[in-house]
Amino acid sequence: MANPTAAMLVIGDEILSGRTRDSNMHFLAKELTRTGIDLKETRVVSDDPQAITGAVQALAAAYDTVFTSGGIGPTHDDITAECVAAAFDTPIGIRDDARALLAAHYQRTGAELNEARLRMARIPEGAALIDNPVSVAPGFTIQNVHVMAGVPAVFEAMVASVLPTLTGGQPLLSQTLRIERGEGEIAGPLADLAADFPDLSIGSYPFQSNGIYGANIVIRGQDGAQVDAAMTRLSEMFA
Amino acid sequence: MANPTAAMLVIGDEILSGRTRDSNMHFLAKELTRTGIDLKETRVVSDDPQAITGAVQALAAAYDTVFTSGGIGPTHDDITAECVAAAFDTPIGIRDDARALLAAHYQRTGAELNEARLRMARIPEGAALIDNPVSVAPGFTIQNVHVMAGVPAVFEAMVASVLPTLTGGQPLLSQTLRIERGEGEIAGPLADLAADFPDLSIGSYPFQSNGIYGANIVIRGQDGAQVDAAMTRLSEMFA
């Protein structure tokens, strides 16, 4: 059976301007591969309501699960919650359960639960909260979309809360062989191998450093015996 | 006048599986910001013909310029050139100028220009070649789409060839102030500042490390005097 599919949406001008290098995509990609959920697409869009709403609608319709990262803090440029609510045509407002989490936290720390901080309690109707063990302000799940923070430590903690609630498929197994020959030399036999194992994904990733060049051949699949068989053939071909 | 817009399309299963961490997106983002071209969106898709063709069509229609990365080597999983040709309904075949580049290169290195390597001379009709000073096999430009290699050293060299041919706008200027207070405390005054400078983008990027927390406030815009004025106000607000 095919694995469930997923997409990721990264929201933030700071990624697109090159100020910040995103790390959440790579983290999520590895976690989903371990879980047996196929990450099929990621998008990065700017802090623009139309861009966010449009991307949420497109990805939620095309894939089983969508993960978003960024734009759920207290400042004026944090507009993700409103945009996701709009994408599903759902009302959004300050919710008592989210407000209670924040109130308890700020009471403990002695800070004021002011208007800006209250923005973080704005949750679309019917959404389930996602626990934030790092800085309390919750993410949320609405339909098949999980809305999470952009700060890596918080994003990673929220992913850890969400993943156990999802049904994964077969984890993708992978084996790699490093071959120190030009891709152009190995491409022919490699294409034959790929044709003989249609259920596997066989990728060739060239490298070149310090005068040594070649390619890492990665064989991926859900069936360990097939991956083994293809890797044995590959090793014999280029022994 | 508004700057030209751009999108990037990263092609490759290895990014979506978490095997490889993409670096081309961050590199291109920085280069475009320096050039005065606004990167509005990036997408990562897998080595799937429909996904690649669909993304090329959507992005080429929505933005002034599109940059792709990955999938133009000699192996069976390199299908980008075919998919871009299909996106523009353009015939593709081995082109004499590209074949001549490869033939000269392999003659010099003593390797054979075999069938697999010849795949790298497949160029859509009417496309212009993009120089590859690193490993010779060219990229190409068709309409508003620049098709480049995924290997970072080659991608970066190709971007250096392409950027001077594009018309940039005003480079985006940016200034940053580090404020060691919670975002929730500064969000109110920050929203007022953003409202007073509608032509500027004012972003708040929280950090938290070793018990110190706060936010970097980044003010971006094309008009240096306005950026200066907003930064002066910001410094006074949180002095």
CA of B42 vs chain A CAs: smallest distance (Å): 5
The domains of chain B are located at: 5-165, 173-237
CA of A88 vs chain B CAs: smallest distance (Å): 22
Q: What is the pLDDT of residue A59?
A: 98
Q: Is residue A210 scored above 80 in pLDDT?
A: no
CA distances from B96 to A110, A124, B10, B106, B121 (A): 73, 58, 28, 15, 8
Is residue B6 within 8 Å of A210, Cβ to Cβ? no
Is residue A141 within 8 Å of A128, Cβ to Cβ? yes
Provide the strand spans (E) within chain A.
5-11, 38-45, 65-69, 92-94, 122-124, 128-130, 139-142, 145-148, 173-179, 201-209, 212-221
**Which ipTM value was assigned to this complex?**
0.90
Test mutation, A10, A42, A108, chain B, max B CBs within 10 A: A42
Helices B152-162 & B24-35 angle (0-180, nearest 10): 20
Beta carbons of A208 and B151 less than 8 Å apart: yes
Q: Closest-CA residue in chain B for A6?
A: B16
Strands B5-11 and A201-209: unpaired
Rounded distance between C-alpha atoms, residue B81 and residue B180, angstroms: 49
Q: Is residue A1 scored above 70 in pLDDT?
A: no
Is residue B52 within 8 Å of B71, Cβ to Cβ? yes
Give contacts of B119 with chain A, Cβ < 8 Å. 187
CATH number of the domain at A5-165, out of 3.40.50.800, 3.30.2350.10, 2.40.50.100, 3.40.980.10?
3.40.980.10
Give contacts of B238 with chain A, Cβ < 8 Å. none
Rounded distance between C-alpha atoms, residue B141 and residue A69, angstroms: 33
> Which one, of A101, A111, A14, A118, lies nearest residue B182 by Cα?
A111
Rounded distance between C-alpha atoms, residue A148 and residue A133, angstroms: 13
Average pLDDT on A130-155 reads 94
Beta carbons of B17 and A172 less than 8 Å apart: yes
pLDDT in tens, A60-119: 999 999 999 999 999 999 999 999 999 999 999 999 999 999 999 999 988 899 999 999
Rounded distance between C-alpha atoms, residue B19 and residue B69, angstroms: 16
Q: What is the pLDDT of residue B238?
A: 85
Six-digit token string for B81 = 């050139």
Give contacts of A18 with chain B, Cβ < 8 Å. 26-33, 39
SS3 A174: strand
Beta carbons of A18 and B29 less than 8 Å apart: yes
Q: How confident is the model at residue A163 (pLDDT cuts 50, 70, 90)?
A: very high
Rounded distance between C-alpha atoms, residue B162 and residue B175, angstroms: 28
Give contacts of B14 with chain A, Cβ < 8 Å. 203, 205, 218
Give contacts of B183 with chain A, Cβ < 8 Å. 73-75, 116
pTM: 0.91
Strands B5-11 and A212-221: unpaired
Beta carbons of A32 and B46 less than 8 Å apart: no
Q: What is the pLDDT of residue B66?
A: 98
**Fold (topology level) of B173-237:** Alpha-Beta Plaits (3.30.70)
Test mutation, A10, A16, A117, chain B, max B CBs within 10 A: A16
Q: Closest-CA residue in chain B for A14?
A: B203
Averages of pLDDT over runs of 10 residues in chain B (239 residues) are: 91 93 96 94 97 98 98 94 98 96 92 93 97 92 97 94 87 88 91 94 83 87 93 91
Say how many CB pairs under 8 Å bridge A and B.
194
Question: Of A12, A16, A203, which has the smallest distance from its Cβ to B40's Cβ?
Answer: A16
Question: Of A120, A187, A203, which has the smallest distance from its Cβ to B14's Cβ?
Answer: A203
